[in-house]
Amino acid sequence: MNAILKKELQSFFNSPLGFLIIGVFLILSSLFLWVFKGDFNILDYGFADLSKFFLFAPWIFLFIIPAITMKSFSEEYKMGTMELLLIKPIGIPKIILGKYLGTLLVSMLMLLPTLVYVFCIGALGMDTNNYDLGVIIGSYFGLFFLIGLFHAIGLFASTVSNNQIFSFLLGVLLCFLIFFGFDALASLLTDGSTQELVSNLGANAHFNSIARGIIDTRDLVYFISLILFFLCLSYLQIKNKR
């Protein structure tokens, strides 16, 4: 499993595309927060907090993570190396887990430089470091679980086809439906309790719940269950193709 994890990291960082994806994320987030005029600009917002970053970051990851995971299994199928992986005595679960953790680590490394934003808003406040640390920690915690879910979805999408573009599009579609689809469906309903019930089926509601700085076991169970569900789907897909 460790060998597969290292292989995923090496294949990502040995390609210019890997650095391009990281660069795009960091440049976009910085431009939206500090340069572009609009609702996401912290300087225009007038409050030294990172709520705007955690508002648009999931939407960026919704596209970036499928781009990271799209070749995980699609490339193996296309190059004919999947058979070589399957005959090794490591088992399908360890292959999936190695690729999942490898791609997840890429996103964690991508997210790491954004901690600079915390120091920036600490210096911008009228009182130094006058921000709610609990909310920031909760928001990063929620973003971690959301990223983990997007990676599980993207990994499953890559097992469906040997076409990386198709895997990318499928991954984006599934991530969008899980993250925002239930909110969109709830908006079409008129009953308040039904709206809340439908909305809670989506990842956005649980992400926002954790981002408030309150760790609820129901939110954790939701994310962990969905991550395991899509990893199991990946296992079944590979097993059927085998």
Q: pLDDT digit string (tens) for 174-218?
A: 999 999 999 888 888 877 788 888 899 999 999 988 887 777 899
Instruction: Print burial letters for 48-79: b (CB count within 10 Å at least 16), e (below 16).
Output: bbbebbbeebbeebbbbbbbbbbbbbbbbbee
Give the pLDDT of residue 125. Answer: 61
Token representation of residue 26: 């960091």
Give the pLDDT of residue 225. Answer: 96
Q: What's the whole-number mean pLDDT along residues 96-123?
A: 88
Residue 47 has pLDDT above 70, yes or no: no
Residue 21 has pLDDT above 90, yes or no: no
Residue 226 has pLDDT above 90, yes or no: yes
Give the pLDDT of residue 127. Answer: 61
Local confidence band at 126 (pLDDT 50, 70, 90 cut-offs)? low
Question: Cβ contacts of residue 118 below 8 Å, gap of 6+?
Answer: 50, 131, 136
Question: Looking at the whole model, is its pTM more than 0.75?
Answer: yes
How many angstroms separate the CA atoms of 199 and 196, rounded? Answer: 5
Residue 165 has pLDDT above 70, yes or no: yes
Give the pLDDT of residue 79. Answer: 82
Give the pLDDT of residue 48. Answer: 66
